[in-house]
Structures are given as structure tokens and as C-alpha cells.
């Protein structure tokens, strides 16, 4: 089976419905990579939708994660997954609901991918869903207990995506294949930086849903206990903890910059895909750093004007390493230095018990 024009159009529509950002970035990729990466994103979004389903108990989420993974082996299981999610997604958007309750097309497209592209996508989704199921039993309104758990969560939901993307890029680009081991290490930091940025930006939306992904031990060092029900944003110790996480995320995004610059200059599509994500995260971190006591994601989200400016500047600099370094430096201007955070916040995943699955 091959990916048809109709399948490509479906992926474009579905991506536009669930993520304007990825609907913008994925079309920048080479045509040989777009179907696999677009499909992988939708599968990961399906896992996110299950994770966010407040009507489901942890064991019920586990059962649905198992169905998702089963459908990666047998597309007939997609119908069982859709039926199991019907009526359970009260907080999902209309597009997320449509994707989750009728996922047959997504899995059919997955099974139409070349086997060498299926393998990294399957690995990513399997690790991600196992991690989400595990953290369902560790999460709380008062944050994750330790920085170690925080790193583990970020790896399972984002670092593993970086590894998958690197493996897919390596299938198309010999230079990436040669440096695959080093690129994969940087890819984990890339994912960590993006996920830390999202956790900070979305902290109040998550808290309204009864969960917090911040590391308690980090905030305890500053004198903030992350007590459920307390108004943290008004506390200077909370703002200090936020700024420390901003510094740590900046450190991980420096690795993301190095990752992007390691992509050959004759691959402008992959470079754009990466550079846009890095710059948008850096500008979001700048907004958070300027207002660490923010109370809603809308206060720190980047504007559409900023997105257009990132796209325009990267359009000029993407093929030139010196210019691209300047683009990154401007995006990071004013951020606290990575050295301003505790060393535990910039550890690598290999140094924690949350080791990756081969």
C-alpha cells in the first residue's frame, strides 16, 4: 500500500484541526517525510487526547493506550479504540474528538508507510503511551515529586519524539545517518526544552484540570511548596522557581540550536521545521521570563505577528550558519543563562532511572 493524494489531503486537514503550529511546520519537510511525520504527530496527539481525558480513571486510560498500540500492529483494532473513546472525551476539541473516535484512517495511513518508517513511529508511540500510563499514577495537583520524575515525564512525552524524528531524517539524509547517535542525544534535549516550555506556559490550564507537572523539589529549594489550592503566582518563591526552569529550558534549547545547525545546509526544509520550533519556544520563554507571575497561558503565548516574524527571519537565515546563529541569539536575548539553574535540571535522561526503551 502507498500513501495516496487523498491520504495526504486528510493528513493536512487533520493537522490543521488539531495543531496550527504543526500544520505550518510539517509542510516544510521534504515530501518523502511529510506523510510519516504528519501521521506520527496525529498518533501522538491521539495519545495526548487519551491522557487528557478527565472522565477516564488511570486503569481505563491504560486499556485505551493498549488499544492504540495494538492498532499499530493490527489496523482492525482501530475500531475498538474509537468505540472505547466514544463519550469519554468531554474536554476534547471537536477536531480531537473526531480524530479519536474514528481513528481508522490514521492507522490505515500508518500501515501504508514503508516498514522502515513505521518502525521509529511505532517505537515512539509505544514508549510515549507506556510513560503516560505510568505517570497517570504519579501525577498530582501539587506537582511531580522530584526533578528525576520531571525529566522522565519530559522524555516519555517529548524526548522520544526527537529520537523518532532523527531516525526518520536519517533515512533520507546520509549526513544525519552518519551522525545519528550524536543527533539523537541532542534530540532528547530538544524535546526536553520544548516540553519544559509547554509545561510552564500551560501550568494554569493544567492546574484547572487538577494536575501539575512542575518538579516539587525545584520549587521547594526556593521556599514554594506547590501546595494544592494555594495562589502560587503571587509568591516570589514561585516566580523564582519559574525563572530557574526558564534558565534550564534555555539550556536544553541551546542543544536544539546545535541540532538544527548540524542538519546539512542543503536540507532547508528540515532546518526550517526545527528552527521555527526552537525560535517559537525561545520567544515564549522570554515572555514567561518577563512575567513569571503570569496567571494564564494567553499572557505569555507568542503572537501571530511574532510567528510571521520568525518565519520571515528564518527564510533569510536558514541556509547560512552564521545568520542562523544570529537568529537564535536574537530569539534568546534576555533569557537567564543555563548556568543560573541547579545542575539537576540539565541532566541527561541516561543519568536517571527513566532510561529509554531500545
Count of domains in the chain? Answer: 2
The C-alpha atoms of residue 154 and residue 191 are separated, in whole angstroms, by: 7
Residue 352: band (very low, low, confident or very high) from pLDDT cuts 50, 70, 90: very low
Q: Could you read off the pLDDT of 92-125 as tens digits, one per residue?
A: 788 898 888 899 999 999 999 999 999 999 999 9
Instruction: Output the pLDDT for position 228.
Output: 85
In a shared domain, residues 236 and 333: yes
In a shared domain, residues 80 and 178: no
Assess contact for 89 and 96: CB atoms under 8 A: yes
The C-alpha atoms of residue 8 and residue 113 are separated, in whole angstroms, by: 12
Query: Residue 314's domain spans which residues?
Result: 138-358
Share of the chain above pLDDT 70, in %: 96
Which of the 8 DSSP states describes residue 158? I
CATH number (domain holding residue 315): 1.10.600.10
Instruction: Output the pLDDT for position 341.
Output: 78
Residue 230: band (very low, low, confident or very high) from pLDDT cuts 50, 70, 90: confident
The C-alpha atoms of residue 222 and residue 236 are separated, in whole angstroms, by: 9
The C-alpha atoms of residue 281 and residue 288 are separated, in whole angstroms, by: 10
pTM summary value: 0.93
In a shared domain, residues 201 and 334: yes
| Of 172, 70, 187, 175, residue with least CA distance to 114 | 172
Instruction: Output the pLDDT for position 346.
Output: 75
Q: Could you read off the pLDDT of 235-290 as tens digits, one per residue?
A: 899 999 999 999 999 999 999 999 999 999 999 999 999 999 999 999 999 999 99
Q: Could you read off the pLDDT of 124-165 as tens digits, one per residue?
A: 999 999 999 999 999 999 999 999 999 999 999 999 999 999
**Among candidate residues 85, 114, 137, the one where a domain is terminated:** 137
Amino acid at each position: 500500500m502507498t500513501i495516496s493524494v487523498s491520504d495526504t489531503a486528510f493528513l493536512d486537514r487533520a493537522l490543521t484541526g488539531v495543531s496550527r503550529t504543526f500544520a505550518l511546520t510539517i509542510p516544510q519537510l521534504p515530501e518523502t517525510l511529510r506523510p510519516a511525520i504528519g501521521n506520527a504527530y496525529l498518533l501522538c496527539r491521539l495519545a495526548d487526547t487519551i491522557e487528557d481525558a478527565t472522565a477516564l480513571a488511570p486503569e481505563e486510560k491504560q486499556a485505551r493506550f493498549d488499544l492504540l498500540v495494538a492498532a499499530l500492529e493490527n489496523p482492525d483494532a482501530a475500531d475498538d479504540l474509537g468505540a472505547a473513546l466514544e463519550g469519554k472525551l468531554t474536554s476534547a476539541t471537536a477536531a480531537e474528538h473526531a480524530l479519536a473516535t474514528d481513528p481508522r484512517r490514521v492507522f490505515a495511513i500508518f500501515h501504508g508507510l514503508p516498514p522502515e518508517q513505521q518502525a521509529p513511529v511505532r517505537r515512539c508511540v509505544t514508549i510515549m503511551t507506556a510513560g503516560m500510563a505510568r505517570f497517570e499514577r504519579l501525577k498530582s495537583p501539587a506537582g511531580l515529586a522530584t526533578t528525576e520524575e520531571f525529566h522522565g515525564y519530559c522524555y516519555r512525552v517529548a524526548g522520544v519524539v526527537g529520537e523518532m524524528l532523527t531516525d526518520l531524517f536519517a533515512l533520507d539524509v546520509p549526513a544525519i545517518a552518519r551522525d545519528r547517535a550524536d543527533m539523537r542525544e541532542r534530540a532528547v534535549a530538544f524535546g526536553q526544552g520544548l516540553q519544559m516550555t509547554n509545561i510552564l506556559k500551560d501550568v494554569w490550564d493544567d492546574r484547572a484540570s487538577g494536575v501539575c507537572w512542575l518538579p516539587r523539589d525545584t520549587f521547594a529549594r526556593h521556599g514554594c511548596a506547590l501546595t494544592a489550592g494555594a495562589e502560587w503566582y503571587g509568591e516570589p518563591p514561585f516566580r523564582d522557581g519559574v525563572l530557574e526552569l526558564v534558565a534550564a529550558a534555555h539550556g536544553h534549547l541551546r542543544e536544539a540550536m546545535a541540532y538544527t545547525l548540524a542538519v546539512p545546509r542543503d536540507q532547508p526544509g528540515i532546518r526550517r521545521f526545527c528552527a521555527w520550533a526552537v525560535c517559537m519556544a525561545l520567544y515564549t520563554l522570554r515572555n514567561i521570563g518577563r512575567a513569571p507571575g503570569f496567571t494564564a497561558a494567553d499572557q505569555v503565548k507568542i503572537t501571530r505577528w511574532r510567528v510571521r516574524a520568525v518565519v520571515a527571519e528564518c527564510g533569510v537565515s536558514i541556509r547560512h550558519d552564521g545568520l542562523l546563529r544570529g537568529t537564535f541569539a536574537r530569539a534568546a536575548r534576555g533569557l537567564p543563562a543555563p548556568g543560573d539553574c541547579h545542575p539537576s535540571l540539565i541532566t541527561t535522561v541516561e543519568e536517571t532511572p527513566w532510561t529509554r526503551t531500545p
